[in-house]
Amino acid sequence: MRLSVGLTRLATFATIWPGIVGAQSDSHDDNWDVDPENIITRDVCVLGGGASGTYAAIRLRELGQSVALVEKQDHLGGHTRTYHDPGTGTTIDYGVWVYENNTEATNFFGRFNISLTVQDFSRITQASQRYDLRTGEAVPPPAGNATDAMVRYAEQLLKYPYLSNGWDLPDPVPADLLLSFRDFVAKYELGAAVEILTLYAQGLRGDILDYPVVYIMKYFSLGVLSGVQNGFLTTANHDNQELYAAAQAELEEDVLLNSTVIRIRREEEVVDVETGSKQHHILVRTATGVKLIKANKLIVTIPPTLANLEGFDLDSHEESIFAQFQYSFYYTTVLSLPGIPSDVQIVNRGIDTEYNVPVLPGAYVFSPSALPGVFTGYFGGGDQNLTEGEVAELIQGNALSLQNAGYDVETVEILAYGNHSPFELFAPAEAIASGFYRDLYALQGYRGTWYSGAAFEAHSSAALWKFTETLLVEKVLSG
């Protein structure tokens, strides 16, 4: 799950966080005639080895199903990133930082005997400093009582308990959920809470105040509110990648790393000549050549953008739904920032913007780590797809602006970098009102295909594990 930073126990809270990319098909290997030794036959094929895909593969094996898991990276974990300092061995999580405390999370970590601890952010929270990182100018705290505003926000959130598990919205969708965040804040006098809520809802595109408020409620959910009040879970070793390394070791040959889909033909088109049963055929380019996966069922956990689904045999109905998704660009880093005290968190706020929301592209926060002088930095590209070099240049400029705030920052070294794009798939309020999520969820099981991942829940690992568990038990395996 991603994080934010405190509500003084409800007020000042820092953040983070936070598939296989659409296949590019080469004509020479877009060939369905594959040698028998390169054919993999499984009950279920899972595309994407992030939180949802890894959980699905492990649970399906526990439930007696054979699995093939396809992942484009050389490791599992999706948005999870852990930096291992070469000098001290200290580990720093800079992607997925903490987890909501639910049964699926504790069971999944327990499955691999990974110890958990409760994360306390009070030390960081109390030392937050606000600056406009375009200039280094100090920005005053929000006006008003943040705790009271958060209580009012919680009262509104409690009206929509169904937002805690997926996007099963009523018809018609409640009007308040479709308000812009700006109008929702004005209606319920939440101005003093905007800093807290926007620090958590990082990675959104453009002006966060224009988003339908339902997306803010999916980010700052009841589970997050509980975590702020009672503590979040994290690994005792502060190495969240440990979970995925253990899962990868268990899956062994059932996971295909460094692999991308070339083409897919789904079950209504393909009949197995030996068994007479319908199958999905997934042609995959792997590190050791092209392989053909034959599977009875298909689970997709990658972000379902049209670019990512390029190799799929989408029909016009599927394409019309997925084409409505928009998304943003989000990046995370580990930075060496000598000159900033290790007990200070730097929060980027706009001196001249409404509710002081930060200007993007730009950093959201520089948060201290366990290593003196080393910080995690979270960066929003908004609607700009930036290169690693462009992110580095902008984030260094943000950090160097702190010279104007009196900090002795002369050098900025990026020790680790993660690109989490495309991030936070969303649809406009008009589409949601017209039944976008109803139509999206109606794709579950359509053409023998099921879906999980952040587009179907939220950018929260624990929430995704809960969603995926229900999907597997009640839908994928129910027949």
Judge whether 10 lies within some domain.
no
Judge whether 341 lies within some domain.
no
Question: Which residues are CB-neighbours of 52 under 8 A, at least 6 positions away?
Answer: 78, 301, 452, 453, 454, 464, 465, 467, 468
What domain range is 50 assigned to?
36-80+237-324+428-476
Six-digit token string for 174: 């409640």
Judge whether 49 lies within some domain.
yes
Cα angle value 100/94/415 (rounded, 5°): 175
Six-digit token string for 332: 């995370």
Print pLDDT tens along the chain (479 aa).
Answer: 433 333 333 333 333 223 343 334 444 456 788 999 999 999 999 999 999 999 999 999 999 999 999 999 999 999 999 999 999 999 999 999 999 999 999 999 999 999 999 986 655 555 799 999 999 999 999 999 999 999 999 999 999 999 998 999 999 999 999 999 999 999 999 999 999 998 888 988 878 999 999 999 999 999 999 988 888 999 999 999 999 999 999 999 999 999 999 999 997 655 555 655 689 999 999 999 999 999 999 999 999 999 999 999 999 999 999 999 999 999 999 999 999 998 899 999 999 999 999 999 999 999 999 999 999 999 999 999 999 999 999 999 999 999 999 999 999 999 999 999 999 999 999 999 999 999 999 999 999 999 999 999 999 999 999 999 999 999 999 86
From residue 196, how far is each of 10, 150, 301, 347 by CA, in Å?
Answer: 8, 9, 30, 11
Question: Which residues are CB-neighbours of 139 under 8 A, at least 6 positions away?
Answer: 130, 131, 132, 349, 350, 351, 356
Distance of CA 78 to the CA centre of its chain: 8
Judge whether 182 lies within some domain.
no
Judge whether 163 lies within some domain.
no
Judge whether 143 lies within some domain.
no
What's the pLDDT score for residue 32? 87
CA–CA separation, 392 and 408 (whole Å): 19
Residue 349 amino acid letter = R
Q: Count of domains in the chain? A: 1
Question: What secondary structure, in 3-state letters, does 26-81 show?
Answer: CHHHCCCCCCHHHEEEEEEEEECCCHHHHHHHHHHHHCCCCEEEECCCCCCCCCCC
CA–CA separation, 264 and 206 (whole Å): 34
Judge whether 295 lies within some domain.
yes
Residue 116, sorted as left (phi over 0), alpha (psi -120 to 50) or beta, turns out to be beta
In sign, the C-alpha dihedral spanning 204, 209, 215, 219 is positive
Judge whether 462 lies within some domain.
yes
Among 457, 464, 462, residue whose Cα is nearest residue 437: 457
DSSP-H helix ranges across 68-193: 103-111, 122-126, 146-157, 175-178, 181-188
CA–CA separation, 351 and 366 (whole Å): 18
CATH number of the domain within which 42 lies? 3.50.50.60
Q: Are strands 326-336 and 345-348 parallel, antiparallel or unpaired?
A: unpaired
Count the residues in the chain: 479
